[in-house]
Amino acid sequence: MTDSRTDLAVADAPPPAPPADQGSGKPEPERIRVRSWSWSEAAELGGVALAALSLVWLVYEQLTGLSGGLGFFLCWFATFLIMYWIVQRQRHDKMAARDRLVTVMIGGLAAVIFAALAVIIGYVIFRGYSTLRLHFFTVDQRHVGPLSPATAGGGLAAIVGSLEQVGLALLISVPLGVGTAVFLSEVKGKLGRPVRIFVEAMNGIPSILAAIFIYQIWLIEAHNQVSGFAVAMALSISMMPTVARTCEVVLRLVPGGLREGSLALGGLEWRMVRNVVLPTARTGIITAIVLGITRVVGAAAPALIDGGESNTVNWNPFHGPQDDLPYFVYRLVREPIKAENLRAWTGAMVLVGIVLVLFIVARMFSGTWHPLGWGRGLIDRSRRSRSPLIETDATSNGGSS
Amino acid sequence: MTAPLLANDPTATPPAPVDRITVVVRRSFGDRVFHLSARAAGTLTLALMVLVFYFLLNASKTFFKVESFSKFMTDQAWVPDEANAGVGSLLFNTILVSFLGVIMAFPFALAAALYVSEYAPRRLRRSLTLLLDLLAAVPSIVFGIWGFFFLMPRQRHLSIWLSHELSFVPIFKVTDGQYADSPFIVGTVLALMIIPIAASVMREVFSQAPPVEREGALALGGTRWGMIRSVVLPFGRGGIIGGMMLALGRALGETIAVTMLVSVVFTRSTHILHQGSNTISALIALDWGEASPIARSALMAAGLVLFVITLLVNVVASMITSRTRSGSLTEI
């Protein structure tokens, strides 16, 4: 596997390494390409697809009187696979035919799933776009009545709430998460293993359980009222393990030689962590934080339990009910009024937009997505293939030219 | 064998024992503070989990005073104000819906992960990886409203078709024509939601399969699928299982997307196309607002059951992922 266009194991082709061989007059043997598709194969594929389509149409629509697009598609895909297998068996042995069948099957399933997810995102944008006005970001729902048009009012209360709650959650969970990561990768100790297991386990705690926990401990036992801060605490329970886990992975990528160098120069441990480890992993830590944000920015359950509902802007997260964006969507979509539902779609679209922007920011820092070549840290060059965050390319360190 | 070829050859003469050297580390004040605070952060994580468990247990005690724990675990009804509530049907429905989602998600997640890591052209691979990770970050509420407004009216046709044509399969039987809000639809939305999550975990592990072994398989004349079956899949088994368990944990605890789609029932029925579905988290979200203190305590008790289940699933998932060969690679 040297290159994507020629990835194969060719037995009799000359290895690409010695360039002196080229131009020596000896005719190069024809390269066997494992993954190349010839026109006849493409025609085979198209022909089988068409044949399956015709057959299924005849049986499904005409003879048995079934209906429904999804059912039709499922039958078509199954028929297509069977017919493709038969056609391939005509020309190839069992192994080659199976290889081709699996290729088509995996490609087909992947295409279906990517298409379905694209439909989801596209549908949200399609429904939300028509009622998105610029004042969605600047006014709240103060003057919105049941008969107001869908473009009236906006989501300022929800946006302010989301920003403040996520900000507060960051203040709580970043020191804790990064601290836990430093503990797991730098300090270690007997507690290391249970802490790592619990961080993993906590990563999967449903946000609604975090919400009812905060309800019990903060609102019932400590006698507080619903507020944005209560929501932020619930969010930070979901956010902290994500930050800690991702951060730990990044810290482990810092080359040990750097640590040893720092200690060998007589540095103290905390100075090593502060001056060497954390700065080296800076971009990865930022990615971890942004991933933590994307994990919680769409959680509606904490606001549902701890936040109360408010259609007007509440700037103070410590007092009074405060809305946030996912809860805004959840609430309005359940209203029996069409205009409210349309506003919910707008809110959902804004939410998707926020996640998208955050994601691009995270990728820019993580160094895999660098349109201008920035954001490439020390880690990326040295141990790229070992980081789950950073895209791994098994072939890239295998000896590409 | 004439001479020991390997250092650990049993016939080799053992090396002379070295005297133990005791190294005493006397940490400076700054380092002691650093160790202490890092340990405190780690301990706090542990403590937080214990606290969540403790307070949920504490809160559900109010309800366990009026109804015994064993009755709560088996009772199918949910009338907490009359001390007649339990997770008998709730738990059944939660697990039914989650497993439906996971079963539907599995082939697609595996195919998507394999496609991105093995089949996609190099140029496309990078953007597809990005897309997969991005889709895993899409808020669940988006899947919820999409399922409610887009999927439900359309999937009805498929449900009707399945129940008419395959009515001899017991789980597809629907007699009274009620197809909306079925476990099938909730499961489908959950499946779509967890596919990117599971697929990105799997893809990650697949891409770590050693290139030497891949090349070896191809050089021996294996087809691409043969290489995947003999190298990539065995190598990534831990990632596949771990990814699916992670996805199962997400599905079990998913709140908002499910809340939008369920119509609450308290019966145990395996007719997945029939109206009526329920999960613990959806019930908490739906009932919380109007619940009396005793009913809230009962909801907390249900939440405690969910907490224990998701905890178990996640711990097992992380242990499987880290025990296998693919997980150990990340250790440096």
- Report whether pLDDT(A99) > 80: yes
Residues A58 and A177 in one domain: no
What are the tens digits of pLDDT across the range B308-327?
Answer: 999 888 888 877 776 655 44
Compute the distance between CA of residue B95 and CA of residue B213 in angstroms, rounded to an integer. Answer: 39
Percent above pLDDT 70 for chain B: 91
Residues A104 and A253 in one domain: no
* Higher-confidence position of A68 and B268: B268
Tell whether B210 lies on the interface with A, counting CB pairs under 8 A.
yes
Q: What is the pLDDT of residue A65?
A: 63
- Report whether pLDDT(B190) > 90: yes
Our separate counts of H helices and E strands in chain A read 15, 0
Residues A348 and A207 in one domain: yes
For residue A353, the domain's CATH number is 1.10.3720.10
Chain A: residue nearest B326 by CA?
A386
Q: What is the pLDDT of residue A374?
A: 36
- Average of pLDDT values for A362-370? 60
Decide if A249 is inside a domain. Answer: yes
Decide if A147 is inside a domain. Answer: no
Compute the distance between CA of residue B104 and CA of residue B193 in angstroms, rounded to an integer. Answer: 11
Which class for B3: exposed (0-12), middle (13-18), buried (19 or more C-beta within 10 A)?
exposed
- Quick one: pLDDT band at residue A14, thresholds 50, 70, 90? very low
Interchain proximity A120–B318, CB inside 8 Å: no
Interchain proximity B253–A334, CB inside 8 Å: no
Residue A66, min C-alpha distance to chain B (Å):
7
How big is the CA angle at A167 (ends A163 and A169), to the nearest 5 degrees? 120
Q: What is the pLDDT of residue A171?
A: 93
Q: What is the pLDDT of residue A203?
A: 82
Domain of A77 in residue numbering reads as 40-129
Q: Which 170-209 residues of chain A touch chain B by CB within 8 A? A: 175-176, 179-180, 182-184, 186-187, 189, 191-192, 194-195, 197-209
Chain B: residue nearest A292 by CA?
B137
Provide the number of structural domains found in chain A.
Answer: 2
Q: Which of A104, A203, A239, A270 to mutate to test the interface with B (most CBs of B within 10 A)?
A: A270
Residue B39, min C-alpha distance to chain A (Å):
6
Interchain proximity B225–A329, CB inside 8 Å: no
What are the tens digits of pLDDT across the range A187-213?
Answer: 888 888 888 888 888 887 889 999 999
What are the tens digits of pLDDT across the range A206-215?
Answer: 899 999 999 9
Pick from A79, A114, A129: which residue ends a domain?
A129
Chain A: residue nearest B207 by CA?
A394
Q: Which of B33, B218, B256, B315 to mutate to test the interface with A (most CBs of A within 10 A)?
A: B256
Q: Which of A15-19, A93-97, A133-137, A297-301 has the lowest mean pLDDT?
A: A15-19
What are the tens digits of pLDDT across the range B76-94?
Answer: 888 888 888 888 888 999 9
Tell whether A386 lies on the interface with B, counting CB pairs under 8 A.
yes
Compute the distance between CA of residue A182 and CA of residue A195 in angstroms, rounded to an integer. Answer: 12
Percent above pLDDT 90 for chain A: 12
- Quick one: pLDDT band at residue A172, thresholds 50, 70, 90? very high
Residue B233, min C-alpha distance to chain A (Å):
14
Tell whether B299 lies on the interface with A, counting CB pairs under 8 A.
yes
- ipTM for the complex? 0.83
The per-residue pLDDT of chain A, averaged, comes to 78
Residue B94, min C-alpha distance to chain A (Å):
13
- Quick one: pLDDT band at residue A388, thresholds 50, 70, 90? very low
Residues of B in contact with A95 (CB under 8 A): 223, 226
User: What residues form DSSP beta bridges with B84?
Assistant: B79
Residues of B in contact with A222 (CB under 8 A): none
Residues A86 and A186 in one domain: no
Q: In this complex, which of B111, B148, B195 lies closest to A106 when CB atoms are compared?
A: B111
Q: In this complex, which of B58, B119, B330 lies closest to A103 when CB atoms are compared?
A: B119
- Quick one: pLDDT band at residue A175, thresholds 50, 70, 90? very high
Q: What is the pLDDT of residue A234?
A: 93
- Report whether pLDDT(B191) > 80: yes
Residues A84 and A175 in one domain: no
Chain B: residue nearest A176 by CA?
B41
Pick from A129, A146, A168: which residue ends a domain?
A129
Query: A331 by DSSP, 3-state: which?
Result: helix
Interchain proximity A9–B281, CB inside 8 Å: no
Tell whether A356 lies on the interface with B, counting CB pairs under 8 A.
yes
Compute the distance between CA of residue B304 and CA of residue B309 in angstroms, rounded to an integer. Answer: 9
Q: What is the pLDDT of residue A33?
A: 59
Q: What is the pLDDT of residue A288?
A: 84
What are the tens digits of pLDDT across the range A251-291?
Answer: 888 888 888 888 899 888 888 898 888 888 887 888 788 88
- Average of pLDDT values for A143-157? 78
- Average of pLDDT values for A302-311? 85
Q: Which of A78-87, B267-276, B287-296 has the lowest mean pLDDT?
A: B267-276
Q: Which 24-83 residues of chain A touch chain B by CB within 8 A? A: 34-35, 66-71
Percent above pLDDT 90 for chain B: 19
Decide if A138 is inside a domain. Answer: no
For residue A115, count other CB atoms closer than 10 A to its CB. Answer: 11
Decide if A19 is inside a domain. Answer: no
Q: In this complex, which of A70, A270, A297 lies closest to B34 when CB atoms are compared?
A: A270
In the structure encoding, which two tokens stand for residue B226, read together?
Answer: 């043969």
Q: What is the pLDDT of residue A231?
A: 93
Decide if A15 is inside a domain. Answer: no
- Average of pLDDT values for B217-246? 88
Angle between helices A338-366 and A94-129 (to 10 degrees): 120
Interchain proximity A71–B161, CB inside 8 Å: yes
- Report whether pLDDT(A17) > 50: no
Decide if A150 is inside a domain. Answer: no
- Average of pLDDT values for A283-307? 86
Q: Which of A364-378, B74-88, B107-121, B122-136 has the lowest mean pLDDT?
A: A364-378
Q: What is the pLDDT of residue A383?
A: 41
Compute the distance between CA of residue B152 and CA of residue B179 in angstroms, rounded to an integer. Answer: 9
Where would I find the H helices in chain B? Answer: 29-66, 69-74, 88-114, 122-136, 140-146, 152-165, 183-206, 211-219, 224-227, 233-235, 237-253, 256-259, 280-287, 293-323, 325-328
Decide if A240 is inside a domain. Answer: yes
Residues A215 and A345 in one domain: yes
Q: What is the pLDDT of residue B324?
A: 59
Interchain proximity B215–A1, CB inside 8 Å: yes
What are the tens digits of pLDDT across the range A30-67?
Answer: 665 555 567 777 888 888 888 888 888 888 777 766 66
Amino acid at A296: V
Interchain proximity A348–B158, CB inside 8 Å: no
Which residues make Cβ contacts (< 8 Å) with residue A65, sequence separation at least 6? Answer: none
Size of chain A in residues: 401
Q: What is the pLDDT of residue A68?
A: 65
Compute the distance between CA of residue B197 and CA of residue B139 in angstroms, rounded to an integer. Answer: 12
Interchain proximity B208–A106, CB inside 8 Å: no
Tell whether A294 lies on the interface with B, counting CB pairs under 8 A.
yes
Interchain proximity A98–B300, CB inside 8 Å: no
What are the tens digits of pLDDT across the range A328-351?
Answer: 999 888 888 888 888 889 999 999
Interchain proximity A124–B145, CB inside 8 Å: yes
Decide if A365 is inside a domain. Answer: yes
Chain A: residue nearest B201 by CA?
A388
- Average of pLDDT values for B165-184? 76
- Report whether pLDDT(B108) > 90: yes
Residues A54 and A168 in one domain: no
Interchain proximity A294–B330, CB inside 8 Å: no
Q: What is the pLDDT of residue B15?
A: 66
- Average of pLDDT values for B21-43? 86
Residue A393, min C-alpha distance to chain B (Å):
6
Q: Pseudo-torsion of CA B196, B200, B203, B208, nearest 10°? A: 180
Compute the distance between CA of residue A326 and CA of residue A331 in angstroms, rounded to an integer. Answer: 9
Residues of A in contact with B144 (CB under 8 A): 330
Tell whether B53 lies on the interface with A, counting CB pairs under 8 A.
no
Q: What is the pLDDT of residue A13?
A: 44
Residues of B in contact with A117 (CB under 8 A): 135, 138, 192, 195-196
- Quick one: pLDDT band at residue B2, thresholds 50, 70, 90? very low
Residue B92, min C-alpha distance to chain A (Å):
18
Residues A179 and A124 in one domain: no
Q: Which domains does chain B have, with CATH numbers?
A: 94-279 (1.10.3720.10)
Residues of A in contact with B311 (CB under 8 A): 201, 204-205
Interchain proximity A4–B306, CB inside 8 Å: no
Residues of B in contact with A340 (CB under 8 A): none
Rg over alpha carbons for chain B, rounded to the nearest Å, is 26
